[in-house]
Structure 1
Amino acid sequence: MKTKFSGILTLLLAFVVHFTFAQDKTISGTVSDDTGPLPGVNIIVKGTSTGTQTDFDGNYSISAAAGDVLVFSFVGYTTVERNVGAANTIDVTLAEDVSVLEEVVVTAQGIRREKKALGYAVSEVGSEDIESRTEGDVARVLTGKASGVQITSQSGTSGSATNVVIRGYNSINTSNQALFVVDGVPFSSDTNSQGNFLNGNVGSSRFLDLDPNNIESVNVLKGLAAATLYGTAGRNGVIVITTKSGAAGASGPKKTEITVNQSYFVNEMASTPDYQDKYGGGFDQSFGWFFSNWGPGFAPDGVDGYLNDPAGIIDANGTVAHPYATNVVCTQNLSPILCNKYNPGGTPVRYAWRPYDSVDNFFRSGGVSNTSINIRGATNDGNLSYNVNYGHLDETGFTPGNKIVRNTLSVGGRAKLSNKFTVQASINFSRNNVVSPPVAASRGNGTLGWSTFGNVFFTPRNVDLMGLEWEVPETGGSVYYRNGNDIINPRWSVANAQNGQLTNRVFGTAQISYDFTENLQLTYRAGIDFYNERNNAQSNKGGVNFNNAVFGFLNTWDNNVRIWDHYAALTGDFTLTNDQKLGLTFTAGATSRSREFDQQGVASSGQIVYGITRHYNYLTQSPIQFLQERNILGVFGDASFDYDDFIFVSVSGRQDWVSNLPTDNNSKFYPSVSASFLPTAAFEGLRSDKGLNYLKIRAGLGQSAGFPTGYPTVATAGQSTQVGGGIAGGPTGIVTNTISNFRPNPDLKPELVSEFEVGFDARFLSNRVNASVSYFDRTTEDLIVFKPLPPSTGFSQTQENIGKVEGDGWEVDLGVDIFRSDDDGFNWNSRVNFTTSEQIVTEQDDDQILYAGSTNPVLGANAAIRGEQLGVIVGTAIERDADGNFLVDTSGNYRIQNAISVNQNNTNPCTETILENCRNITPIIGNPNPDYVMNFINTLSYKNFNLGFQVSHTKGGDIAAATVATLLGRGLIVEDRKNTFILPGVNIGTGEENTLQINNSSYYFNNVLFGPKELTIYDGSVIRLQEISFGYSFSDKFLEKTPFGALSITASGFNLWYDAYNTPDRSNFDPNVAGVGIGNGRGFDYLNGPSSKRYGLSIKASF
């Protein structure tokens, strides 16, 4: 019996010893996904602190015992658990976790981080929201896609510029435009500001050089805590774009895949006024060949009928003498040929007195053809990948003579080498040709510049623009209906005048990385951005109204921009504790950016022979020369800590040195700190599948600076040329140098920008509802402003650091899956983004600073005034008495006031007993800053069908609308002519209530059009159907017998409907315009052109 018992004990001991040794065996294997090996995957023995990570090739090894459980986890993938058995090799394939794929975003300097770790707001826009859109301008494609981002178009003219501002305007004279970063390199999105706006230069933004169909993703970094690592360049927020070529290797097919995207859209004018057809040209119900449309009715009878016209010019048959029989064509012998044609033998040809659709007939339906071909692929092991994208855009505008032709080619690739090196590169080429007729500012009479739109829009209804001859046969000059022929015929403009811009651009990046270990990497990246803008602004002689049009001109100039970017950084990712709970990710590096802008050209005037636009055919020539260089060197660092996946803290800093300021003021350090806390991860009981699924609370602090451009601290020399009948520098030319009228300021400092933001992100009801709310508070100090100087100084102006702007705002993003099905059932997702902010001038030495628009109060300007929102509109106002009553003059019209006296609280009139406490300012007549902006985006799908639409609402934001004032003041949309007006107010001198009657033409012409600027101010609130689309994707079953891997067709439209509900109904005015060009000015319309609407079809196929 003892022998048996001893045998049992021996067997038991042998089993225990064998089990003990089994605990120490090594498990190894490879972790991959469907594209290849995955480096950096975390493997941990469940319930212990034992863990490791996969290496560069996805391999791992770990000590474990049979019966243990290995947990494999990686950001963006579903966690996998594997039991350890007898086998020593465990290979795992991880699948992407659809619920968290969007949680990995590209942040500053290309750093990829989990969204839950970010202590600041980030908005993401995917390729599905960008490609196959109607616009070739990527900035406009982003309209309404992200909260806090304000996008304004100069007009609907094809090729016109675009302004992109994040979190409001915070600076007076330095740029407020957001920084665009493409494939890790800052992208020059300049607008050609060197063109002559009076000659109607369109001024395209360099956004046009990007093909939206070549964009993989867009991330918007809104706050300074997010953008600190970009230094001064990122002070206005950053839009990080990853192209398909730049993303090569990140994901994609193993085989070669070809995708073709072809679309065609109709391009039409959206904001066509609803012209009245009851009355024709003249004034006070009497006919005349005037600008204005206050003449008799087109009907013969009645008190306003043409037979009752006291002038008696319109006969009983409803005809008048042809305008070319009675104006300077004959009276001053402008054209004997036309005079003989329309006044043969002294008997004028008769012209029908009726309405003509001149505006509708002048404009046309343009077209937008957009082709994109993408080829991408990778080797089976995923170590080598490539992407090629070609795009062709052919766009004709709704205005004759307006066109864009763009060709783009993008090539990118990525290779993992066997020696721990990874190389990646992308190169992009763009050739962009934009032509347009002159589309400069106008206020209804062409006096501001050469405005094709202005000359068309106020055409009287009795003028047949398309039926009248537009060219003097003998000279080729312009001829039109006015008695003095003192308005340019718009048909002559589009045939004889042109503004063009041909841009050739190369931009790209090359990057090499070396992995010292699986946790430590060194990266170097070089970027280039070279482009040449070949500009021309020209007109044959023969125009009217101002010298350039009368005598002809030709300006040609090249803008050559060369930018070099260098980036080097060491990055690391470490676990600091044995329990794997505390981690550190760091980046330390340096950047340099060198930019050179070199402008060379010739401006010629006084055309000798009509029709020849070469510089030798002009009487005078002057050089166009401008050179500007700047270098920025920066060093930066970022350390991000995470604890147990629910607390994240990031500390960053950057030091910049800028070359165009003296050493005392050319350097600035910007710190930032941000943190996020996930209560749903910290407290298990807080999270519920049917309640709160996810909650993140975040906060961030950051700083940046705005450095001045140019050379404001030193005196600069300019070239002055006097030419007498020869070219500059020739036998009769004298070239001299002069000192600039700008006084240098060696003490000028950069603007300092500081921001605090706090917010939360949450998901509810099985992730069916998600919300993101942010509050930010931003301050800009030491504002750089241009300050006028008295003539006695010998200079006209200088730059100084004056003032402070404080602003805050809210951003709200809400998403709801109203219906959601796991298969191809009915799905409906709705997203809302909401933005409101205001920026107040809190400190300022001067009474007011006019910084955009015009210094002439008749035209209006944006101003900085202490205690008011930045950018308020100032201009002439209706004069008030001490009780605030409007003052009416002896003719029954409003009295105009150019300046007012206010106290320190901007209260008018100033009643301070101490005179120094009063200050004179131009009256504040409007505020262009909207109360809020809201976008409502919907995506619906059922089986293979999908429907999407985006509705936008902008509440508030005043605009000085010269288009509306012209339509009203010229009588083009006013149907009522019989009623009289008694303007509210009191009479000057008597102080009694006004009882003077004036007729319609006097009210609209003398007061609205040429009276106080205040009467042209309208509330710019607008509701807009921004986008709508309906598509169908063919099923896999249908495609089985075709060469296509995927095929879809989509019908879509852009800006098909809008209602600016606080503007006159018949004006159909669209407030989304930038009347003073792209920059810091806003809230002005100077007949710059209507907006556009586009609709059409697109087809996308993959092979």
Structure 2
Amino acid sequence: MFRIISACMLLLCSFVATAQTRQLSGVVSDDAGGAAIASATVKVKGKSIATTTNANGQFSLAVPTGNIVLEISSVGYTALEVSVKEGENNITVSLSKNAATLDQVVVTALGITKEQKKLGYSVTTVGGEQLNKARETNVALSLAGRVAGLNVKGSSGGPGSTARVLLRGMPSMNSGGSPLYVINGIPIDNTQRGSSGEWGGSDNGDGIGNINPDDIESMTVLKGQSASALYGARASNGVILITTKSGKKGDLNVEYNVNYVADKSWNITDFQYQYGQGVGGLKPTTANEALQTARMSWGAKLDGSQVIQFDGKQYAYSAVKDNLDRFYRTGASLTNTVSVSKGSDQGSFRLSLSNLDNNSVVRNSGLDRKTVNLNIEQKVTDKLKINIMANYVNEESKNRSQLSDGPMNPNNGLFLATNIDQAILAPGYNPTTGVETRWSDDEYVTNPWFVVNQYKNDLSRKRFITSVSARYNFTS
């Protein structure tokens, strides 16, 4: 039973709040010939809820109740917004082809721009303004539902954790998986620091998670083996090009951007609340029996009578249904970014300063990230141009959650018997000795309040990404 419980732990760390949902299905087709459009993106406007259509143009999506607006898009077609009313559970949508997309210019390797229609591989560009809607602490997670054939999943490690990105059509869906990230022509290290397995461990984030979304002009996804060849073996899992913002021609421009996102634990459990703590249909009669059955709801029917607990005190033998809501808090992410930029025919510059202050849904846990970004472009002669990019990141994370197994995992309270109030586990330790308060039959299953109040897993990362490049146009 312990191993079954341990396996479940991987799923528990952080859930984003959402309202009650309903299932919405539909079909997306071409308005000219009625042909199904595969891999079209269907997204709920203003929400991080999205999916893609299958080979028959069909999709199915769990959406919030009430009236909503869907954003439907596909490469080569004009994006469309569709209003869906409450009670409407099946829709049909037709997209019209967008001839203008054939003339789009995109950035490929080494900052070289080409017409998209002349490329022999798939290219999809996501604008920076889209990355700031329902913002994530890891910018790669914001690509979810925005690029056909791109599968993005977060881990349960809390703020700043790893984003797993897989591109359809890559050599192996079971490979290391991560595409190569290139910022202004410079490949960056995206190594995942830390991982969780059978015996626990924590997800300590990846490289792309250090980048400030406010500094990104666009993210371009290159798919296919031809695209990978541009950057060699490192790009065997695809390439994601990141172009940072630069100064625009005109007067001095000062911009201030503030972004606030709130997260809340989402209780999707469906426990029974008819029977309470115990085994064999019997309530615990001693403190030791209560200790041994704190995670077992095989006792008598809940009747509101007094029953002893592991701490030797008497409590009501009644259902407690809001343990998760009261143990977790509302997490908040506040980002402040200020930038100064100016441009002319001879060159431009942009300097930005940003601060992310994040509090996780797990108490005493969070992330603080300070970023400085500088972009300079200077035209030395009619044919020679110099570019300088410098990005400094100072990231401090507090108490990153242990995952997967029971030790030091803050989510063990999920397995409390149905009549035990999580509040009686607090503060989780003896204030005099500092020793953990044991609450269950397994000493390796840590008291969640002990994790919140006593566990320390503080990490820091300082990172400097810079490039200096010169381009000389020998011919036009």
TM-score (norm 2): 0.72
CA distance in 1, matches of 2:100, 2:170: 36
CA gap of 1:222–1:172, structure 2 versus 1, over 3 A, is closer
1:100 is displaced (CA, Å) by 6.0
1:278 equivalenced with 2:274 (yes/no) = yes
* Other-structure match for 2:456: 498
Among 309, 315, 324, the residue aligned to 2:311: 324
CA contact (8 A) 1:178 1:238 kept: yes
Counterpart mapping for 1:215-294 below 5 A: 215-245=216-246, 248=247, 252-288=248-284, 289=290, 290=293, 291-294=295-298
CA distance in 2, matches of 1:213, 1:180: 17
Counterpart mapping for 1:421-820 below 5 A: 421-442=384-405, 446=406, 449-453=407-411, 455-469=412-426, 470-482=428-440, 487-516=445-474, 518-519=475-476
1:390 equivalenced with 2:353 (yes/no) = yes
1:441 is displaced (CA, Å) by 0.8
CA shift digits 1:261-291 (9 cap, x unpaired): 1121211123542444332211232223212
CA contact (8 A) 1:266 1:366 kept: yes
Structure 2 residue identity aligned to 1:506: F
* Other-structure match for 1:369: 334
CA distance in 2, matches of 1:393, 1:365: 17
* Other-structure match for 2:365: 402
CA shift digits 1:514-572 (9 cap, x unpaired): 233x43xxxxxxxxxxxxxxxxxxxxxxxxxxxxxxxxxxxxxxxxxxxxxxxxxxxxx
SS at match of 2:439: coil
SS at match of 1:324: coil
CA gap of 1:418–1:482, structure 2 versus 1, over 3 A, is closer
Counterpart mapping for 1:877-892 below 5 A: none
* Other-structure match for 1:105: 106
Instruction: Tell me: higher relative CO, structure 1 or 2? Use CA pairs within 8 A at least 6 residues apart.
Output: 2
CA distance in 2, matches of 1:352, 1:435: 36
CA distance in 2, matches of 1:482, 1:161: 32
CA gap of 1:108–1:363, structure 2 versus 1, over 3 A, is same
CA contact (8 A) 2:170 2:224 kept: no
CA contact (8 A) 1:132 1:261 kept: no
CA distance in 2, matches of 1:435, 1:419: 50
CA distance in 2, matches of 1:420, 1:168: 39
Structure 2 residue identity aligned to 1:459: L
* Other-structure match for 1:122: 123
1:474 is displaced (CA, Å) by 4.4
CA gap of 1:174–1:273, structure 2 versus 1, over 3 A, is closer
Structure 2 residue identity aligned to 1:319: Q
CA contact (8 A) 2:158 2:400 kept: no
CA contact (8 A) 2:245 2:350 kept: yes
CA gap of 1:477–1:377, structure 2 versus 1, over 3 A, is same
1:410 is displaced (CA, Å) by 0.3
SS at match of 1:499: coil
CA gap of 1:173–1:148, structure 2 versus 1, over 3 A, is closer
CA gap of 1:457–1:253, structure 2 versus 1, over 3 A, is same
CA distance in 1, matches of 2:215, 2:170: 30
CA distance in 2, matches of 1:495, 1:126: 41
CA shift digits 1:15-54 (9 cap, x unpaired): xxxxxxxxxxxxxxxxxxxxxxxxxxxxxxxxxxxxxxxx
* Other-structure match for 1:1082: none
CA distance in 1, matches of 2:103, 2:438: 61
CA gap of 1:152–1:196, structure 2 versus 1, over 3 A, is closer
SS at match of 2:430: coil
CA distance in 2, matches of 1:274, 1:156: 23
1:199 is displaced (CA, Å) by 4.7
CA shift digits 1:189-239 (9 cap, x unpaired): 110147887353222112221011111011110011122120101111101
1:162 is displaced (CA, Å) by 1.2
CA gap of 1:204–1:170, structure 2 versus 1, over 3 A, is same
Structure 2 residue identity aligned to 1:370: T
CA distance in 2, matches of 1:173, 1:487: 32
1:298 equivalenced with 2:302 (yes/no) = yes
CA distance in 1, matches of 2:347, 2:102: 23
Structure 2 residue identity aligned to 1:214: D
CA contact (8 A) 1:209 1:430 kept: yes
CA shift digits 1:857-886 (9 cap, x unpaired): xxxxxxxxxxxxxxxxxxxxxxxxxxxxxx
CA contact (8 A) 1:170 1:176 kept: no
CA distance in 2, matches of 1:175, 1:322: 47
CA distance in 1, matches of 2:138, 2:443: 39
* Other-structure match for 1:351: 315
CA contact (8 A) 1:373 1:391 kept: yes
1:181 is displaced (CA, Å) by 0.6
Structure 2: gaps spanning 5 or more residues: 1-98, 285-289
SS at match of 1:287: coil
CA shift digits 1:362-404 (9 cap, x unpaired): 111111101122222113xx11211112221111111123201
CA distance in 1, matches of 2:298, 2:243: 56
Structure 2 residue identity aligned to 1:321: I
1:405 is displaced (CA, Å) by 0.4
1:416 equivalenced with 2:412 (yes/no) = no
CA contact (8 A) 1:378 1:386 kept: yes
CA contact (8 A) 1:125 1:217 kept: yes
TM-score (norm 1): 0.32
CA distance in 2, matches of 1:468, 1:138: 36
1:107 is displaced (CA, Å) by 1.1
Counterpart mapping for 1:950-965 below 5 A: none
CA contact (8 A) 1:217 1:243 kept: yes
CA shift digits 1:1018-1054 (9 cap, x unpaired): xxxxxxxxxxxxxxxxxxxxxxxxxxxxxxxxxxxxx
CA shift digits 1:75-94 (9 cap, x unpaired): xxxxxxxxxxxxxxxxxxxx
* Other-structure match for 2:164: 163
Mark the structure with the bigger radius of gyration.
Answer: 1
* Other-structure match for 1:995: none
CA shift digits 1:435-484 (9 cap, x unpaired): 23542213xxx3xx54222x121111221221344223442111143368
SS at match of 1:255: strand
CA gap of 1:138–1:468, structure 2 versus 1, over 3 A, is closer
Structure 1: gaps spanning 5 or more residues: 1-97, 301-317, 326-348, 520-1103
1:148 is displaced (CA, Å) by 1.1
Q: Alpha carbon RMSD of aligned pairs, Å? A: 2.5
CA gap of 1:471–1:105, structure 2 versus 1, over 3 A, is same
Identical aligned pairs, as a percentage? Answer: 27
CA distance in 2, matches of 1:102, 1:273: 50
SS at match of 1:374: strand
* Other-structure match for 1:810: none
1:506 is displaced (CA, Å) by 0.3
